[in-house]
Structure 1
Amino acid sequence: MTAGETIRGVLELTRPVNVIAASVLTFIGAFVAGGVTAEPIAVAAAVGATALAVGAGNAINDYFDREIDRINQPDRAIPRGAVSPRGALAFSIVLFLGAVVLALTLPSLAIAIATINLVALVAYTKVFKGLPGLGNALVAYLVGSTFLFGAAAVGTVGDVGAAAVLFLLAAVATLTREIIKDVEDVEGDREEGLNTLPIAIGERRALVLAIALLILAVLASPIPYALEYFGIAYLLVVVPADAIMLYAAYESFDDPTAGQSHLKYGMFFAALAFIVGRAALAVPTIG
């Protein structure tokens, strides 16, 4: 195994797309709270802590899941031999320590959220992942909480209504994707004795539940506009994002792998809608 392949494997452990997406959500939380220009150092620390924590959580998840991944995801870094299990564990610990150092520079509310989330990231695979629906809900909370973490990092949760809406929308969309991912991994999970939601209630019923949850999230997505948190610019971006996510959920019935992957990009596009919506409020009107 060459050094280049090892470096590539280490980067893959972090799931760069997930790291970027979570970091953006944290930034949005701070942005909505109005702290990006007022507290730039705190925002940078919060975004950095999020990136390191998510990367660490993904790496340690791959460490614990290495046997399952030999069946479900043989091309991942550990199963294909790019990174050793011990190396993945050491890498995750370094990232966790970096996240802790950055989080400790933030206000107490942000530290509290970070502490809960770090414990949840470590406990997820060993404690919650095999429990039908509960592991999915924990991941959904973690993604949604990045909005609250970003707001808390600038010293306040800001507009509580806006923060709550962002948290709920992100959490529900993530819960949908997590259920679809469990359908994708059902063969290996069953062999390892895990009792995930698709195994407990059936794959088709799990997918129907996932789509029902996503439809609720899509129906709720105009709420920030209706409550005047954001203007028309938000709707112009969130509507196509909704369309992408709905198509991805429908696609998951035939191809769960493609469905959950496309849903992830739809979620990222939806996150962009919040940036556009909030930025448009700062643009002065003419006349």
Structure 2
Amino acid sequence: MNVAATAKGLLELTRPANTVAAGVLTFIGAFVAGGAFDQQAATAAAVGATWFATAAGMAINDYFDREVDRINNPERAIPRGAVSPRGALAFSVVLFLGAVVLAALLPPLALGIAAVNLVGLVTYTQYFKGLPGAGNALVAYLGGSTFLFGAAAVGDPLAGGVLAALAALSTLTREIVKDVEDIEGDREEGLNTLPIAIGERRALLLGAAMLVVAVAASPVPYLLGTFGVWYLVAVAPADAVMLAAAYRSFDDPSAGQRLLKLGMFAAAFAFVVGRVAAA
């Protein structure tokens, strides 16, 4: 395997789209808290730490998931031989160190969130992924915490609280749908994910229920007076997309989770609109 192929494989391990998206969500958390531009150094450190931590988590997840991926995702870097398992593990350690260095520059609460998240990323596949619902809940927390982390980095964690909670509920739904999508490989590997434990339809119904709660709670920032009517105008289409995604997941989990991801980003954008309009 040549150097170019290995470099490409290492880049793939980081899931560039996901890591950049995580950094953007952290920035949105700082922006909603009103400190993204007033505290540029802290915001940049938080975004960078999120990128490194997310990339590290993706890489180590692929390391632990290498046998499952031979069935579910044989095109990934480790199963196809672009990166060795040992190389992926070493790469993840370097990325984790980068996250630690940047997180150390942030306020104590943000540093604490980063520490908890790093532990969660390291332990997810090995200890939580195979536990029905537990792995989903951990990933949901990690997804929602990006907003909380960004807000905490600029000194106002409460400003990101509602967004973090809504994002966590939406992420929980998406993770359940993804488990339904991956059920064949997970069963082959002996994992006891939620769809395996309670059945695909029940798992999807539970995920849909969580999403309905998130959508029902989405007007809270308006009701609390945090944002004005423009937030409602922006969040309504996002809610519609996410509900459509939940419905689609029963027939096509792959399409449903992609649509749900789009709806989640639209909802995050609604918070940006709300913040700009309230300025």
Q: Which TM-score tier does this pair reach, normalised by the shorter chain? A: over 0.9
> 1:193 matched to which residue of 2?
190
Cα distance in 2, alignment partners of residues 78 and 232 from structure 1 = 48
TM-score, with structure 1 as normaliser: 0.93
User: How far 1:123 sits from its partner (Å)?
Assistant: 0.5
Per-residue Cα deviation, 1:162-189 (whole angstroms, up to 9, x for no partner) = 4321121010000000000110111111
> 1:123 matched to which residue of 2?
123
Aligned to 2:11, the other structure's residue is in SS state helix
Change (3 A) 1:235 1:7: farther
Aligned to 1:268, the other structure's residue is in SS state helix
> 2:218 matched to which residue of 1?
221
Q: CA RMSD in A?
A: 1.4
Cα distance in 2, alignment partners of residues 4 and 49 from structure 1 = 26
Matched, 1:34 2:31: no
Matched, 1:57 2:26: no
Cα distance in 2, alignment partners of residues 229 and 51 from structure 1 = 29
Of 221-230 and 205-214, deviating more is: 221-230
| Unaligned segments of structure 1, at least 5 residues | 283-287
User: How far 1:7 sits from its partner (Å)?
Assistant: 2.8
Matched, 1:261 2:258: yes
> 1:166 matched to which residue of 2?
163
| Unaligned segments of structure 2, at least 5 residues | none
Change (3 A) 1:40 1:134: same
Amino acid at match of 2:129: K
Cα distance in 2, alignment partners of residues 177 and 35 from structure 1 = 30
Equivalent positions of 1:73-88 (< 5 A) are 73-88=73-88
User: How far 1:2 sits from its partner (Å)?
Assistant: 4.5
Per-residue Cα deviation, 1:5-54 (whole angstroms, up to 9, x for no partner) = 33332222112222122212211221122212221100100010001101
Cα distance in 1, alignment partners of residues 233 and 5 from structure 2 = 41
Matched, 1:114 2:114: yes
Cα distance in 2, alignment partners of residues 16 and 226 from structure 1 = 36
Per-residue Cα deviation, 1:104-148 (whole angstroms, up to 9, x for no partner) = 011111111111110110001111110000110011111111122
Cα distance in 2, alignment partners of residues 72 and 193 from structure 1 = 13
> 2:45 matched to which residue of 1?
45
Instruction: Indicate which of 196, 200, 204 corresponds to 1:203.
Output: 200
User: How far 1:74 sits from its partner (Å)?
Assistant: 1.2
Cα distance in 1, alignment partners of residues 257 and 48 from structure 2 = 26
User: How far 1:155 sits from its partner (Å)?
Assistant: 2.7
Cα distance in 1, alignment partners of residues 264 and 155 from structure 2 = 27
Cα distance in 2, alignment partners of residues 231 and 156 from structure 1 = 20
> 1:236 matched to which residue of 2?
233
User: How far 1:265 sits from its partner (Å)?
Assistant: 1.9
Equivalent positions of 1:1-16 (< 5 A) are 1-16=1-16
Of 21-30 and 192-201, deviating more is: 21-30
Cα distance in 1, alignment partners of residues 260 and 91 from structure 2 = 28
Matched, 1:104 2:104: yes
Aligned to 1:274, the other structure's residue is in SS state helix
Provide runs of 4+ in structure 1 moved above 6 Å: none
Change (3 A) 1:11 1:265: farther
